[in-house]
Amino acid sequence: MDLVQLLVDPLQYGFMQRALISALLVGTICAITGSYLIVRRLSMLGDAVSRAVMPGLAIAFLLGANIFFGAFIAGVTATGLIGAIHTNSKIKEDTAMGIVFSSFFSLGIILITKIQKDNKIDLNHFLFGNILGVSESDLITTLVISVIVIATISLIYKELLFHSFDPLGAKSVGLPVQALNLVVMSLIAATIVASMQSVGVILVIALMLGPGSTAFLLTKKLKTMMLLSVAVGAVSSTVGLYLSYYLDISSGPAVVMVSTVFFILSFLFSPRQGLLTHFLHKDQDEPSVSGSLPKSAYKP
Amino acid sequence: MLDIQNLSVRYRKNLALERASLTIHPQRIVGIIGPNGAGKSTFVKAILDLISYTGTVTYKNKPLKGQMKQVAYVPQRTAVDWDYPATVEDVVMMGRCIHIGWLRWASAKDREIVRESLVRVGMESFADRQIGELSGGQQQRVFIARALAQKADLLFFDEPFVGVDQTSETIIFQIFEELRNEHKTLLVVNHDLGEAVSHYDDILLLKNRVIAFGPRETVFNDENLALAYGGKLSRFVDSDGSTVVLS
Amino acid sequence: MFIPKRLLPNFFAPWFALVLGLTLTACGGGSSTEKSTAGESNNNAVGLLDAQAEEFLNSPKPKIAATSTMIADMARVVAGDDFAVFSVLKPGTDPHIYEPKPGDSRVLSKADVIFHNGFNLEPQLVKVINATQNPAPKVPVAEAGGVKPYKMEKAAGLVVADPHAWGSATNGILYVNAITKTLDAKYPDKKAVFDKNATAYRAELTALDRWIRAQIATIPEQTRKLVSSHDAFQYYGRAYGLPVVGSILGVSTEEEPSAQKIAKLIEKVKKEQVGSVFVETSTSPKLLESLARDAGVKVGGTLYSDSLGIAGSPGDTYVKMLVANTRTIVEALGGNYTAFVPPSTNQASK
In B154-173, the residues whose Cβ lies within 8 Å of chain A are: 156, 171
Partner residue facing B75 (CB), from A161, A166, A289:
A166
Q: Tell me how far apart the alpha carbons of residues B127 and B148 are, in angstroms, rounded to a whole number.
A: 15
B57 vs A: CB within 8 A: no
Partner residue facing B175 (CB), from A156, A174, A296:
A296
Beta bridge partners, C114, equal: C65, C138
pLDDT digits (tens, 9 = 90+) for A16-30: 899 999 999 999 999
Beta bridge partners, B73, equal: B156
C39 vs A: CB within 8 A: no
A286-295, C36-45, C66-75, C130-139: which is most confident: C66-75
pLDDT, position B238: 52
Which H or E run contains C139?
strand C138-140
pLDDT, position B209: 87
Q: Sign of the C-alpha dihedral, residues C6, C11, C12, C16? A: positive
Q: Long-range contact list for B217-226, CB < 8 A, 24+ apart? A: none
B114 vs A: CB within 8 A: no
CATH code linked to domain A3-275: 1.10.3470.10
pLDDT digits (tens, 9 = 90+) for C91-130: 888 888 888 888 888 889 889 999 999 998 888 889 889 8
Q: Do A133 and C27 touch (CB under 8 A)?
A: no
Nearest Cα residue to B106 out of A158, C139, A120, C197: A158
Q: Tell me how far apart the alpha carbons of residues C323 and C334 are, in angstroms, rounded to a whole number.
A: 16
Q: What is the pLDDT along chain A (300 residues), one digit of tens a residue?
A: 688 888 888 888 888 899 999 999 999 999 999 999 999 888 888 888 889 988 998 888 888 888 778 888 888 888 888 888 888 888 888 899 999 999 999 999 888 888 876 666 778 788 888 888 888 888 898 999 999 999 999 999 999 999 999 988 898 888 998 888 888 888 888 899 888 877 888 889 999 999 999 999 999 899 999 999 999 999 999 999 999 888 888 888 899 999 999 999 999 988 877 777 777 776 555 454 444 444 443 333
The string of DSSP codes covering A185-202 is: HHHHHHHHHHHHHHHHHH
A15 neighbourhood in chain C, CB within 8 Å: 259, 262, 266, 290-291, 293-294
Q: Which of A137-151, B142-156, C16-30, C42-56 has the lowest mean pLDDT?
A: C16-30
Domains of chain C and any CATH numbers: 51-207 (3.40.50.1980), 219-348 (3.40.50.1980)
Nearest Cα residue to C201 out of C16, C323, C343: C343
Nearest Cα residue to C122 out of C93, C157, C102: C93
CB C85 within 8 A of CB C76: yes
Conformation bin of residue B101: beta by default, left when phi > 0, alpha when psi is -120 to 50: left
CB C147 within 8 A of CB C113: no
pLDDT, position B241: 53
What's the whole-number mean pLDDT along residues C173-178? 94
Nearest Cα residue to C159 out of C116, C123, C119, C125: C119
**pLDDT at C15 exceeding the cut of 50:** no
pLDDT, position A278: 77
Instruction: Read off the pTM.
Output: 0.79
Q: Do A10 and C93 touch (CB under 8 A)?
A: no
Structure letter (DSSP) for residue C176: H
Q: Which of A283-287, C151-155, C245-249, C312-316 has the lowest mean pLDDT?
A: A283-287
Q: Tell me how far apart the alpha carbons of residues A268 and A261 are, in angstroms, rounded to a whole number.
A: 11
The string of DSSP codes covering A78-107 is: HHHHHHHHHHTSS--HHHHHHHHHHHHHHH
Q: How many CB atoms are located within 10 Å of the residue B184 CB?
A: 22
Residue A122's identity, in one-letter code, is: D
pLDDT band of residue C174 (cuts 50, 70, 90) is very high
pLDDT, position A99: 93
Q: Smallest CA–CA separation between A121 and chain C, in Å?
A: 6
pLDDT, position A288: 43
The SS3 call for residue C181 is: helix
A175 vs B: CB within 8 A: yes
φ, ψ at B73 (rounded to 5°): -120, 125
Q: Smallest CA–CA separation between A191 and chain B, in Å?
A: 22
A297 vs B: CB within 8 A: yes
Q: Tell me how far apart the alpha carbons of residues B168 and B174 are, in angstroms, rounded to a whole number.
A: 10
Which H or E run contains B3?
strand B2-11
A292 vs B: CB within 8 A: yes
The domain spans of chain A are: 3-275
Q: What angle do CA C289, C34, C91 make, to 5 degrees?
A: 100
pLDDT band of residue C4 (cuts 50, 70, 90) is very low
**pLDDT at C41 exceeding the cut of 80:** no
Q: Tell me how far apart the alpha carbons of residues C204 and C325 are, in angstroms, rounded to a whole number.
A: 17
The string of DSSP codes covering C72-133 is: HHHHHHHH-TTSEEEESSPTT--TTTPPP-HHHHHHHHH-SEEEE--TTSSHHHHHHHHHS-
A220 neighbourhood in chain B, CB within 8 Å: 85-87, 128-130
Q: Smallest CA–CA separation between C230 and chain A, in Å?
A: 14
Partner residue facing A293 (CB), from B49, B102, B122:
B122
**pLDDT at C264 exceeding the cut of 80:** yes
pLDDT, position C30: 39
Query: Greater confidence, A300 or C185?
Result: C185
Q: What is the pLDDT along chain B (247 residues), one digit of tens a residue?
A: 888 998 999 887 788 888 889 999 999 999 998 888 888 888 999 999 888 899 999 998 888 888 888 899 988 888 888 889 999 999 999 999 999 989 888 999 999 999 999 998 989 999 999 999 998 889 989 999 999 999 999 999 988 888 888 888 888 899 999 999 999 999 999 887 776 778 889 999 888 888 889 888 888 777 787 777 776 565 555 555 555 555 5
The SS3 call for residue C144 is: helix
Q: Tell me how far apart the alpha carbons of residues C13 and C291 are, in angstroms, rounded to a whole number.
A: 42
Q: Do A158 and B123 touch (CB under 8 A)?
A: no
Q: Do A220 and B135 touch (CB under 8 A)?
A: no
Closest Cα in chain A to C13: A179
The string of DSSP codes covering B101-141 is: -TT----HHHHHHHHHHHHHTT-GGGTTSBGGGS-HHHHHH
CB A32 within 8 A of CB A215: no
Q: How many CB atoms are located within 10 Å of the residue C134 CB?
A: 18
Partner residue facing B68 (CB), from A166, A174, A220:
A174
φ, ψ at B22 (rounded to 5°): -165, 160
Chains that touch C (3 or more CB pairs under 8 A): A
Domain B2-80+152-246, architecture per CATH: 3-Layer(aba) Sandwich (3.40)
Partner residue facing A172 (CB), from B71, B105, B175:
B71
